[in-house]
Structure 1
Amino acid sequence: MSTDHLRHHPQSRVVELDIEGMTCASCVNRVEKKLGKLDGVEASVNLPLESAHVTVPAGITDQQIVDTVNETGYKATVRLPRYPSQSASPGTDALDVPPASGDVGGMRQHASKRGTSEHAEHVSDGAAPGDNLQQGGAEGAAPGDHMTHGGAAAQLRPRLILAAVLTIPVLAVSMVPALQFPNWGWVAGALALPVVSWAAWPFHRAAAVNARHLASTMDTLVSIGVAAAYLFSVWQLAADPRMTEHPAMEGMESGGLYFEVAAVVTTFLLLGRFLEANAKQKAGDALRALLNLGAKDATILHHGVEHMVPADQLRVGDVVVVRPGEKIATDGEVIDGISAVDASLLTGESVPLEVEPGSKVTGATINTSGRLLVRATRVGSETTLAQMARLVSQAQTGKAPIARLADRISAVFVPIVLALAVLTFALWLAFSGPVIEPAELRAAFTAAVTVLVIACPCALGLATPVGLLTGTGRGAQLGILIKGPQVLEDTRTVDTILLDKTGTVTTGKLAVGNTLAFDGYEGKDVQRLAGAVEAASEHPIAHAIAAAAGEAQTGHDDGGRLPAVEHFRSAPGGGVVGTTEGHVILAGRTAWLTENGVRPSGAQLEALADAEATGATAIWVAVDGTPAGIISLRDTVKPGSADAVAKLKKLGLRPILLTGDNAAVATQVAAAVGISPDDVYAGVLPAGKVDAVRRLQAGGAIVAMAGDGVNDAAALAQADLGIAMGSGTDVAIEAADLTVMGNDLGQVAQAIELSRRTLAIIKTNLFWAFFYNAIGIPVAALGLLNPMIAGAAMAASSVLVVANSLRLRSFGK
């Protein structure tokens, strides 16, 4: 949806509507057109979600928007914000509060790279457009929550049951001569009456509402077809009351009565609508599950006393107590305690993350071991979970360019079908000759009714949104957020992917690469002694050395334990010293050795320089005042990176490694993951990342970029497809088109594959919807199709489209 008009109306806002009564693409088109006639208003209507995302300028009220939709014949209600503005007074509408300064109240805009789709958020005084989305923290659903509209299936169930119960005897007595009895036609008419009236009422009501507004939809076709079949039969019976006086009367096989057609068509269509409603509810299950991930309550610590409060009442700065097994209620920073946090529900990664004071934690993740005190840094609509839900919802509400074709066709489809039905009837009569026999009249009527019944724009209307709904929902379950429908198109054309090394291909954490021992020492001894003293330090380098030493000791008689240390001392940024096994061990940088009176030789200093030249972090180890060796540490390649690169290649992408490190380090990492040395861009500064993307684009490449840092944001925005790693910054995620909530590069390949699969499903849906109508209407007009079969086929087309989309639910399993 374009947001150009927002630039001219600084007070523009987004209004979310729930709309009842829409049944097909024609309904969607009418609502969008009607709202579009209001000055400065733009609307994107979603059929499966029964919602509308409306951008409204300051001069137009919510009530005007609602009235406009109501005038179109549907019932609209404004969806209430899930999280009201914290600064607004109780009687204030959060949407009317003037914007605050800073980012809040501003507009964050993301433009899809080829300019065909844009997403804008206009945030008024803390109320984000996705505030209505459940962040998890409230019991049940918000009053206007669009995810609770599954009641459609429940409303259709009694009508479907009645229709089925009455249709079976009508069909049996009409089609099986042996079951017929004197005057069975009147009984069939009486049994069919509740079916074509009460059971088919949703179709008749919608058709009548549309007729009042001089419009027509799929319901118009169904209503006219069913009513015509029934009334024609009643007219036939009234003209000849004794028509069915004798069972299996001669001539009846030619179809004098159509009660069974009216009843069967109604039943099939109700069944299709019922299955469709159930399936649409399933397609939205993923988003509903995402919204319900969050904690319902939180325990806050106030003046040393614990209080239980609903999670949606938390404020920034509150200190939340999180016990083992509990969900962390909101985004925050650990101020006390050490634990492991299970973030698999959000990131899709199964390995718990270690946290300690100073660590950032995300709401809806689970504390697995120790007690934590967490200071809330983001609450309500600003949490990661709420933002994820907002991204998913916006993606589901948007429209891919391919969907607009279906909208344009549906706008003229129903009037054309009505005209075709009349034309079919007239041509059949015209070719019947000057004298029209009853059988010829019945044949003409049958063909016309069949054209009405089989022509179904419903499948066209569902083809794109249900596919999008299921694909983005499954993505959310896998920790993949697709920012909008245009992204699906972009993933199809991408042929090159730039991978930022640190944090994307590698862990960004140091691990021991190799150990160089000097005269009189062995590498394993140097590592063991260094590990013993480093084990007492909290520094990340110390952790890496101690971990490597511990692993090397595994299997020894001591059970893998490192020697005990006495007289331990450390200096921030310098190194450590301690006594173990009767030896004084120093580990650290050159300055630390010099400070402690250790003087390395020229050859040893040269060995250090050689190690550092390869991009490694080199640490001295000295025993009793003599240099014993050098331990080199390097950034480690993520375990799944090599497989992910292979998968990207299989998807037809050329992976290119981008790094600020020197060429030696970059080439080593590239070789480890299977990237060609020719596809390594080393020594690239943050500003140079954008230039790298532009150079590739200038060469004709369609470029994707995967990164996680603030310094990647500009390149992510420049790329044709930006992919942010979820461990990254908000700036990177905002600039990207796809976000993977985990840290695994494999998720990037999975995200591209899911996007392509979703687009393929949507195209398949549209093909079958078009193909069905292209074949069905001519066959019906030629009289080669029974109206009952046409009704079944029409219902099946919608169910087929939805069922095809639901196949995405198994993606990645």
Structure 2
Amino acid sequence: MTSATELDLPIPGISCASCAGRVTRALTALPGVSDLNVNPVTKRAHLRLDGATLPQVQEALAQAGYPADLTTTRLSIEGMSCASCSGRISRALSARPDVAEAQVNLATHQAQVMHAPGLSPDTLARLVTEMGYPAQVAAPGRPAAPPPDEAPVLRRDFLIALALTLPIFVVEMGGHVVPGFHHWLHSVVPTRALWIVQMVLALAVLAGPGRRFFAAGLPALRRGAPEMNSLVALGSGTAFLFSAVVTLAPGVVPVASRQVWFEAAAVIVTLILMGRWLEARAKGQAGAAIRALIALAPDTATALRDGRPVKLPVADLRAGDLLLLAPGERVALDGVVTEGSGPVDESMLTGEPVPASKAPGDKVTGGTVNGNSALTYRVTATGTDTVLSRIVALVEQAQAARLPVQALVDRVTLVFVPAVMALAALTFVLWLIWGPGLAHAVVAAVSVLIIACPCAMGLAVPVSIMVGSGRGAQLGVLFRRGDALQKLAEARVVAFDKTGTLTLGRPRVTGTWTDGIEPRQALRLTAAAEARSEHPLAAAILAEAEGMDLPAAETVTATAGRGLTAVVDGHALLIGNGAALKAAGVTPAPELMAQAEAAAAQGATPVHLAVDGHHVATFALADPERPEATSTIADLHQLGLETAMLSGDLPATAKAVGARIGIDRIHAGLTPEDKLTAIRGMGKGSVFVGDGINDAPALAAADTGVAIGTGTDIAIESADAVLMSGDPGGVVRAIRLSRAVMRNIRQNLFWAFAYNAALIPVAMGVLVPFGGPQLSPMLGAAAMALSSVFVVGNALRLRGAA
């Protein structure tokens, strides 16, 4: 690869020449960028990097307000066994100037790379493969294939190694259990013969089940990039080779050091295989949530073909097909009900325990379960376009994410394995000089190599993310960006949009007062006129009048700020606010105006009706709060968080709603730009929850944007996390889960780091001069294996979080 790199970046935000000028100025100011050409017609920027990198370019474009549209490639990688492996791959990918970000996940065996569109995904896969980790490009638009289940193979290899190791272990350690065993055994079988049998059995362990450590570790050592397998290969190989020399050429070794450690070499491999088998089983449980999501979609469905029901594979169905849904059957694909009505259990997707009632025109989602009614629905989405497929993709994306806390692990593992090898060499030299002999020095060095394998470090963060993201999906909380898991745990203030988030977003008539006319007649006349109106409040009046026989309205005219006029049943009608009555010269009825003022003080919108010039009725229309809104705010307060409302509604309405549900700070009458300013003023730890198009800027600006899943696609795309149901209480579950995940990660990191910090010095023998113990290689292998199992097991506790 040459020092200079050509980039051709799509920048969709460019809409005119002035936009192109701003992009040009932003990139020109960046050192290391040359040959720049920004085309406003094609919305692309061509440039040459000579010292600059794509992350720098993307940051400059983002600050200018015109981020580039980069390509994301997912790789499936084999052979990763520890944090050193994943860290090395991440650094190699990130070192390319045309790569913006590379996230490598040890738990899922996958990498997610964001790069310039001109960089071929095959080039990335080839780069990783050449490092010794076979990689393939995952098919776009499909869930990534999970890493192969290693548990059965590891179990088989562990049992083989155990059977071969047991005789060696009994020969060497039997005397510690049964006094006199060693004396009897050596009187029956010559010592040299016993050593030869042990050597053959140990060689079978290392060359058979333990071959994987040497096949991966020694090439990595030759490349100057040692990792966990290298430590195991060096440790067990050194113990075996030293013992083999003592057995086959004893004259080479001083008499005082003629000891064999075949049991150490064999037991190391056996115990580490056991640890990997248990770890593989646990990691399989960690991915259970996403497998359960994938399993929600049935393989077949009953379609109507020429009026007859036909059982067909779901893969053969297309948008527009009519499907029959039997009671208790699982919905195959997203669609719209055309016949029948009844409840559908959507809890596996939304976390809501109460089934949702469905009727013709309502949407149904693939993976949900029909209740006790037969339904017919028309397919609207198939394949990767379904809600379930998008959920799976979002969960996978979050599971592959790299949290900011991972940077600490990356910095440590960058130097960890080389440092351990240096410490092992130092231990060998020191014990050779001041210790009792060569054998003791070898054992001490092997103990250091074995006990320091960084498996637990590499798994501490990704396994917690993996389990936490899956648990979130079960609770109806989807993390679109993995770092939202960490940011939500650091939240200080949670701000909500009002309409559609804390309220139902559907105004309804909450009060009717009349003067000289029957309430039903007033509603009938008003609804007849509003039937021709597109105003949001018209729908509330029509809903209230549902089932009434409405007369036809004539000469309907709507004027902004002056209400609506119409002729109904020969009467001239005026419908509007108090200003509209005044502008039309209608004298307001005092009693009705008093009711209107009282309703407005409670956050309702008064609508007046005048018939033939007389003010005869007043309606109060309000957008009721969601039933869960008050408990959501109370729960957030219990978590120690401040709450705020950012609303574009009238101040009186917003303050009334906020007061009823207990909001701390209320900001009303805001434009989208005002919401953006308010969010930025909240500083670090801000969370914004919204659902509308006008919420997108605030969702993007907040430290963590949380979109209501029933909201607009634009809002969801701008958010870091999505609540699949309309329940704002999902943000409480999200924050509790986030805190649990971060607490779990801190526990795992403490264990991983503290384990190594405490036991490496013990393995080196620093306690021996003070009468303390020194860990044997066998105990070191057991401790190392159990540390990884502990970390994964601890992460599995998150399956019951929140």
The TM tier, using the shorter chain, reads 0.7 to 0.9
Structure 2 residues without counterparts, runs of 5 or longer? 1-52, 532-537, 555-563, 575-585, 769-773
- Asked if the contact 2:565–2:572 (Cα under 8 Å) also holds between the matched residues in 1, the reply is no
Kindly state the Cα deviation for residue 304 of structure 1 after the two structures are TM-superposed. Answer: 4.5
- Counterparts of residues 629-778 of structure 1 (less than 5 Å): 632=620, 634-676=622-664, 679-694=665-680, 696-697=681-682, 700=683, 702-778=685-761
Residue in structure 2 matched with residue 54 of structure 1 by the alignment? 113
Partner of 2:168: 170
Matches within 5 A, 1:371-382: 371-382=374-385
How far off its partner does 1:479 sit?
1.0
Residue in structure 2 matched with residue 122 of structure 1 by the alignment: none
Task: Please state whether the residue corresponding to 1:502 is helix, strand or coil.
Answer: helix
TM superposition shift of 1:62: 4.4
Distance 1:671 1:643 in 2: 13
Is it true that 1:27 corresponds to 2:89 in the alignment?
Answer: no
Q: How does 1:279-678 map to 2 (within 5 A)?
A: 279-301=282-304, 304=307, 306-432=309-435, 439-510=436-507, 513=510, 541=540, 569-570=549-550, 595=571, 602-607=589-594, 609-610=596-597, 612-614=599-601, 615-616=603-604, 632=620, 634-676=622-664
Give the residue type in structure 2 aligned to 1:728: G
User: What is the CA–CA distance in structure 2 between the aligned matches of 1:304 and 1:618, rounded to whole Å?
Assistant: 51
Q: Which AA in structure 1 matches 2:798?
A: L
2:240 maps to 1:260? no
CA deviation string 1:561-595 (max 9, x = no partner): xxxx9xx5135899xxxxxxxxxxxxx99987994
CA contact (8 A) 1:320 1:375 kept: yes
Q: 1:374 to 1:643 in 2, by over 3 A?
A: same
2:587–2:615: 8 Å Cα contact kept in structure 1? yes
TM-score, L = length of structure 2: 0.77
Whether the 8 Å CA contact 1:705–1:722 is kept in 2: the answer is yes
Write the distance in 1 (CA, Å) between the matches of 2:168 and 2:338.
73
Q: Distance in 2 between matches of 1:628 and 1:57?
A: 67
Is 2:62 the counterpart of 1:76? no
In structure 2, what is the Cα distance between the partners aligned to 1:690 and 1:74? 45
SS of equivalent residue, structure 2 residue 104: strand
* Alpha-carbon separation, structure 1, partners of 2:496 and 2:258: 68
Give the corresponding residue for 2:234: 224
Q: Distance in 2 between matches of 1:56 and 1:358?
A: 42
Give the whole-Å Cα distance in 2 for the aligned partners of 1:709 and 1:413. 48
Per the alignment, residue 16 of structure 1 pairs with: 74
CA positional deviation for 1:425: 0.7
Instruction: Tell me, in whole angstroms, the C-alpha distance in 2 between the residues paired with 1:331 and 1:504.
Output: 24
- Which stretch of structure 1 is more off in the superposition, 683-692 or 416-425? 683-692
The answer as to whether partners of 1:73 and 1:213 remain within 8 angstroms in 2 is no
Residue 270 of structure 1 pairs with residue 273 of structure 2: yes
User: By how many angstroms is 1:728 displaced?
Assistant: 0.9
Q: CA deviation at 1:222?
A: 0.7
- 8 A Cα contact 1:324 1:369, kept in partner: yes
Secondary structure at the aligned position of 2:788 is classed as helix
Change (3 A) 1:395 1:327: same
Over the aligned positions, Cα root-mean-square deviation in angstroms equals 4.1
Rounded Cα–Cα distance in structure 2 between residues aligned with 1:414 and 1:660: 56
Q: 1:785 pairs with 761, 775, 798, which one?
A: 775
Please tell me whether the aligned partners of residues 611 and 618 of structure 1 are also in contact (alpha carbons under 8 angstroms): no
SS at match of 2:500: coil
Counterpart residue identity of residue 165, structure 1? A
With over 3 angstroms needed to count, the CA separation of the structure-2 counterparts of 1:630 and 1:65, relative to structure 1, is closer
Question: 1:593, 1:499 → 2: CA distance?
Answer: 45
> Aligned pair in 2 of structure 1 residues 429, 601: CA closer, same or farther (>3 Å)?
closer
- Count matched residues: 689
Task: Go from structure 1 to structure 2 and tell me whether the alpha carbon gap of 1:286 and 1:572 turns closer, same or farther (over 3 Å shift).
Answer: farther
Deviations 1:381-437 (A, max 9, x none): 2222222222211122121222133223223221221121111111112224xxxxx
Q: What is the distance in 2 between the residues matched to 1:444 and 1:322? A: 73
Deviation of residue 689 (structure 1)? Answer: 2.3
Give me the whole-angstrom Cα distance separating, in 2, the residues matched to 1:59 and 1:67: 16
* Alpha-carbon spacing, 1:657–1:18, altered in 2? closer, same or farther (3 Å): same
Secondary structure of 2:670's match?
coil
The alpha carbon displacement at 1:25 in A equals 1.4
Q: 1:635 and 1:735 mapped to 2: Cα distance?
A: 25
The match for 1:235 among 245, 250, 262 is 245
Q: 1:153 aligns with which of 133, 147, 151?
A: 151
Aligned mates of 1:9, 1:619 — CA distance in 2: 46
Query: 3-state DSSP class of the match of 1:638?
Result: coil
Moved more, 165-174 or 760-769: 165-174
Q: Is the 8 A contact 1:51 1:146 kept in 2?
A: no
In the TM superposition, what is the alpha-carbon distance from 1:711 to its structure 2 partner? Answer: 1.8
What residue identity is the alignment partner of 1:683? Answer: G
Change (3 A) 1:372 1:731: farther
Is the CA contact (8 Å cut-off) linking 2:500 and 2:691 kept in structure 1? yes
Q: Distance in 2 between matches of 1:20 and 1:543?
A: 62
SS in 1 for 2:725: coil
Deviations 1:59-107 (CA, angstroms, capped at 9, x unpaired) = 554443333222211222232x3xxxxxxxxxxxxxxxxxxxxxxxxxx
Do the aligned residues in 2 keep the contact of 1:300 with 1:307 (CA within 8 Å)?
yes
1:733: how far off? 0.7
How far apart in 1 are the matches of 2:633 and 2:758? Answer: 44
SS at match of 2:711: coil
Q: Structure 1 residues 710, 609: closer, same or farther in 2, change over 3 A? A: same
Give the Å deviation of 1:38.
Answer: 5.2
With over 3 angstroms needed to count, the CA separation of the structure-2 counterparts of 1:593 and 1:406, relative to structure 1, is farther
Q: Distance in 2 between matches of 1:728 and 1:681?
A: 21
| Letter paired with 2:648 | G
SS of alignment partner, residue 773 of structure 1: helix
CA shift, 1:219, in A, is: 0.7
1:208 to 206, 218, 233: 218
- For residues 660 and 791 of structure 2, the distance between their equivalents in structure 1, rounded to whole angstroms, comes to 44
- Report the secondary structure of 1:147's partner residue: coil
CA drift at 1:794: 0.8
Q: Distance in 2 between matches of 1:289 and 1:197?
A: 38
Partners of 1:233 and 1:715 in 2: CA distance: 68
AA matched with 1:651:
L
SS at match of 1:680: strand
- Three-state SS of the structure 2 residue aligned to 1:637 is coil
What amino acid does structure 2 have at the position aligned with 1:147? Answer: P
CA contact (8 A) 1:50 1:146 kept: no
- Do the aligned partners of residues 291 and 64 (structure 1) sit closer, same or farther apart at CA in structure 2, a change above 3 Å counting? same
Q: 1:5–1:40: 8 Å Cα contact kept in structure 2? A: no
Instruction: Describe the shift of the 1:34–1:684 C-alpha distance in structure 2 as closer, same or farther (beyond 3 A).
Output: closer
Tell me the equivalent position of 1:797: 787
Segments of 5+ residues of structure 1 without an aligned counterpart are 82-128, 134-144, 244-250, 433-438, 548-564, 575-587
- SS of 1:485's partner is coil
User: What is the DSSP-based 3-state SS (H/G/I as helix, E as strand, rest coil) of the residue aligned with 2:714?
Assistant: helix
Per-residue deviation, 1:467 = 1.2
Could you tell me how far 1:454 is from its partner in structure 2?
0.6
- How many angstroms does 1:680 deviate by? 1.6
**Sequence identity percentage:** 40
Question: Would the alpha carbon gap of residues 188 and 597 (structure 1) be closer, same or farther in structure 2, given more than 3 Å must change?
Answer: closer
Write the deviation string for residues 310-354 of structure 1: whole angstroms up to 9, x where unpaired.
334444444444444333333344445444332211110122233
Q: Secondary structure at the match of 1:704?
A: strand
Counterpart contact for 1:425–1:445, Cα < 8 Å: yes
Q: Which amino acid aligns with 2:405?
A: I
* Corresponding residue SS for 1:326: coil
Q: Give the match's secondary structure for 2:146.
A: helix
